Amino acid sequence: MHFQLVSVSGTKFDDDAYEVLVPTRGGVVGIFEHHMPLISAAQPGILSVRKKSSDPDSSLEHFAINGGVVEVDGHSVRFIADDVTTSDEVSEQEAATALKRAEELVKSADSQTALHEAHHLLRHSSAKLHLAQLKKRHHR
């Protein structure tokens, strides 16, 4: 199937894929060729792509996403993301610093709206840190 990952900053992935793993509110959804048609909101987290069925987990391509919408038609998957970070763009130190800032925002939130936004930032910062750790683990 064809997979396209698009964000405001441009196309981050546009190629064939065997499997796409998308974080949603209900959990991670695995999408394969001939998946039933679907449109779903995604949560901040790690989106993973397996290019070939024989590829081991260590060769998955990972992206930190800040939410978005996934659209599946059975033969192609299109993900429109609010923000995408690739493993080449992530820094473990910057991600850890951002996570600490997000944790502080959660503690100091003075309204439901501020708390909701802080939790969203916390999930996205956590995803970036996880991406940096995946990158480190697979590049040893």
pLDDT in tens, 11-28: 999 999 999 999 998 899
pLDDT at 58: 85
Output the CA torsion sign for 19, 37, 80, 94: negative
For the segment 56-69, the average pLDDT, to the nearest whole number, is 92
The whole-model pTM stands at 0.86
Lowest mean pLDDT among 50-54, 94-98, 133-137: 133-137
Residue 121: CB partners within 8 Å, gap ≥ 6?
98, 102, 105
pLDDT digits (tens, 9 = 90+) for 74-116: 899 999 998 999 988 988 899 899 999 999 999 998 999 989 9
Single-letter amino acid code for the residue at 34: H
Q: How far apart are CA 122 and CA 13, in angstroms?
A: 25
Q: At 65, is the secondary structure helix, strand, or coil?
A: strand
First to last CA, the chain: 31
